[in-house]
A and B are shown apart, each in its own frame.
Chain A
Amino acid sequence: NAGVMQNPRHLVRRRGQEARLRCSPMKGHSHVYWYRQLPEEGLKFMVYLQKENIIDESGMPKERFSAEFPKEGPSILRIQQVVRGDSAAYFCASSPEVADTQYFGPGTRLTVL
């Protein structure tokens, strides 16, 4: 049973470019969460999605950031016009039910030059 998959593991972008981060949840999990981890900090919640629905995006910046979890395929976190402050590790987690244990992927480390 494969765990949560994220790709790419490392992503380098120049300021102003777009970053697309992908997350495939564990088999049987329909709840996906995205977190951001800045250096020397804990994880900060960004967004919670179920298939085709954004349930809670209270932790996501209002501009440049968007997330989706389509009926088919992985969840995507999209960052438009990246800036240096977006450099961080972005983790995806999935759970079988809401308010259940979250299982984390290995993360995508985004570096903005």
Chain B
Amino acid sequence: AQSVTQPDIHITVSEGASLELRCNYSYGATPYLFWYVQSPGQGLQLLLKYFSGDTLVQGIKGFEAEFKRSQSSFNLRKPSVHWSDAAEYFCAVGPNTGNQFYFGTGTSLTVIP
């Protein structure tokens, strides 16, 4: 069965510190992988995606993520967090065939001055 696990429900980091949000997936085929960000009361904005090729992908707002097939992981990173990065982050697995996206339960990021 397909699933996405985000082990960290909530993370607090200081502004300027580095960030890593974890995502593990279970998927029967080669997955498409996504990270979305959701600000309070807003929709989801695509940060980055991985379909194939280079396993280190760059996204918007200075984020990057690395696909590690051996670990079934797609962790999101940012070298220096800004206060405006405080939001909810969702990892998603999508089909290379079929229709559904499977979302993790999200990681809430708090940034302290």
A42, A59, A105: the one within 8 Å of B100 (CB): A59
Task: Tell me whether A99 and B105 are in contact in the complex, defined as CB-CB below 8 angstroms, given that A33-B99, A91-B43 are known contacts.
Answer: no
Q: With an 8 A cutoff between CB atoms, is B103 at the interface?
A: yes
Task: Tell me whether A104 and B44 are in contact in the complex, defined as CB-CB below 8 angstroms, given that A41-B105, A42-B90, A43-B90 are known contacts.
Answer: yes
The digit string for B93-104, where 1 denotes a CB below 8 A from any CB of A, is 011111111111
| Chain B: interface size category | 20 to 34
**CB neighbours of A55 from chain B (8 A):** 99
A40–B6 alpha-carbon span in the complex (Å): 13
The digit string for A83-113, where 1 denotes a CB below 8 A from any CB of B, is 0000000010100001101111111010000
CB <8 Å contact, A45 and B43: no
**CB neighbours of B106 from chain A (8 A):** 41-42
Q: With an 8 A cutoff between CB atoms, is B27 at the interface?
A: no
**CB neighbours of A102 from chain B (8 A):** 94, 101
A44, A56, A101, A109: the one within 8 Å of B34 (CB): A101
**Top 9 A-B residue pairs of the complex, sorted by shortest distance between their CB atoms:** A42-B103, A106-B43, A104-B44, A48-B99, A43-B103, A42-B105, A104-B43, A45-B100, A56-B99
